[in-house]
Amino acid sequence: MPRPEKSGLKPLTLLTISTRRLPPWKLKSADPDHKYFLMMNSYGITQQTKLSDKFGINKEELSIQGYSVLPAVLNPEECARVAEKLHHIYDRQLGEIEGYTLEDIRDQYVARMPLAYDDYFVTLAGRSPVIDLIRSLMGDYFILHLQNGILNMPEKDHQQRNWHRDLPYQNYTSSRPLALNAMYCIDDFTADNGATWLIPHSHKMEAMPSDTYIRKHRQQVLAKAGDVLLMDSMIFHKAGENHTDQVRIGVNHVYATGMIRPQIDIPAMLQGKFQDDPFLRILLGYAADVPGSVKAWRDIRFSRK
């Protein structure tokens, strides 16, 4: 491998990759998912992460860089259906408000909580393989904090185009994710139509880095329609600018530990629907109801015995 030329630039970390088949005594330490694999030569290393299951690489990426992409979760027909439904729901929501516009409150082009308008989105929120990955990171008890259809319109500004965390006003880090995002890409996410920008590793930063750092290290995540962009919800990110003449749609989900409240009261909106389903009961927040009295709290404990 040629040596990098001397320049002012930081040298790249060079890894030597051996492509030969490994002798059996080396197989143990390799990724069990791959029959024929590349092995990184190394020295002086006493620990290395091993991929534990089929989501191992996604979990490792989420932990280290704060994001990962699950490819081809939805097929083109499903994407087309989601897009049509979201436009319809957004129009309904426009009809709900009186005395102000969504521009007035900087909430334009977001179809909020579509699951309260169409059961299809309840199924989407609980869908494999995304939900299996979330479960394998957060355990069995997590709630849906929000579900939003993002209609990133050509040349139109909206609130999600500003850098933010999906858990706003939280300026600290945690050793495990407080919440995880799943953004279903309903269209191809391209550089032209405003694919999501993010700052890798920033889920582990308390403060938002400087503008200079952001300009230098931000990344735009390109994805295909049907892929799901997973993020630690504490990563700094934003929607890109759409310079095409077509809308770019994504459906964002935030799955959070049970200690976090939903953004809007999902059980109140669904009025008891799906509460008998053991999984949806927890996901949709029915199980997170705060007992109204000491006795009610104790009754719940008794009912669990």
Ligand X SMILES: O=C(O)CCC(=O)C(=O)O
User: Which residues of this protein are in contact with ligand X, per CB under 6 A?
Assistant: 148, 150, 152, 160, 166, 196, 237-239, 250, 252
CB of 152 to Fe ion, least distance (A): 12
CB of residue 253 to ligand X, shortest distance in Å = 9
Q: Is 81 exposed, middle or buried (0-12, 13-18, 19+ CB in 10 A)?
A: middle
Closest to Fe ion by CB, 166 vs 187, is 166
Instruction: Give the nearest distance from C-beta 160 to ligand X in angstroms.
Output: 4
The entry of ligand X, Fe ion, none that residue 58 binds, CB within 5 to 8 Å by partner kind: none
Stretch that binds Fe ion, among 28-36, 39-47, 115-123, 165-173 (CB under 5 A): 165-173
> What's the closest the beta carbon of residue 179 comes to ligand X, in angstroms?
12
What is the four-CA torsion angle of 186, 75, 255, 248, rounded to 10 degrees?
A: 0
Relative to beta strand 219-220, strand 228-232 is unpaired
**Dmax of the chain from CA atoms?**
73
Shortest distance, position 72 Cβ to ligand X, whole Å: 19
Judged by CB, which is closer to ligand X: 59, or 237?
A: 237
By the 8 A CB rule, do 174 and 276 touch?
no
Q: Which is nearer to Fe ion, 162 or 246 (CB)?
A: 162
Residue 232 engages Fe ion in binding (rule: CB under 5 A): no
Closer to Fe ion by CB, 131 or 229: give it: 229
Minimum distance of Fe ion from residue 38's CB (angstroms): 35
Q: How far is the CB of 26 from ligand X (least distance, A)?
A: 42
Q: Kindly tell me which of 90 and 286 has the beta carbon lying closer to ligand X.
A: 90
Between 143 and 235, CB nearer to Fe ion: 235
Asked if 166 touches Fe ion (CB under 5 A), the answer is yes
Q: Which is nearer to Fe ion, 58 or 196 (CB)?
A: 196
Three-class DSSP category at 221: coil
User: CB-wise, 142 or 274, nearer to ligand X?
Assistant: 142
Q: Is there a contact between 160 and 150 (Cβ–Cβ < 8 Å)?
A: yes
Q: What share of the chain is helix, strand, coil (3-state, %, to 5)?
A: 30, 15, 55
- Partner interacting with residue 177 (select from ligand X, Fe ion, none; CB below 5-8 Å by kind): none
Name residue, tokens 């700052």: 199
**Contact 239/193 with Cβ under 8 angstroms?**
no
Closest-by-Cβ residue to Fe ion is: 166
Is 120:127 a contact under the CB 8 Å cutoff? no
Interface stretch with Fe ion, choices 10-18, 162-170, 266-274, 294-302 (CB under 5 A): 162-170
Kind and range of the H or E run holding 219: strand 219-220
> In whole angstroms, how close is the CB of 144 to ligand X at the nearest point?
14
How many helices, marked H, and strands, marked E, lie in the chain? 9, 11
Partner touching 152 among ligand X, Fe ion, none, CB below 5 to 8 Å by kind:
ligand X
160: tokens are: 């999600």
Rounded-to-integer distance, Cα 49 and Cα 52, Å: 9
Tokens of 157: 């500004």
Q: CB of 290 within 8 A of CB of 300?
A: no
Which residues contact Fe ion by CB under 5 A? 166
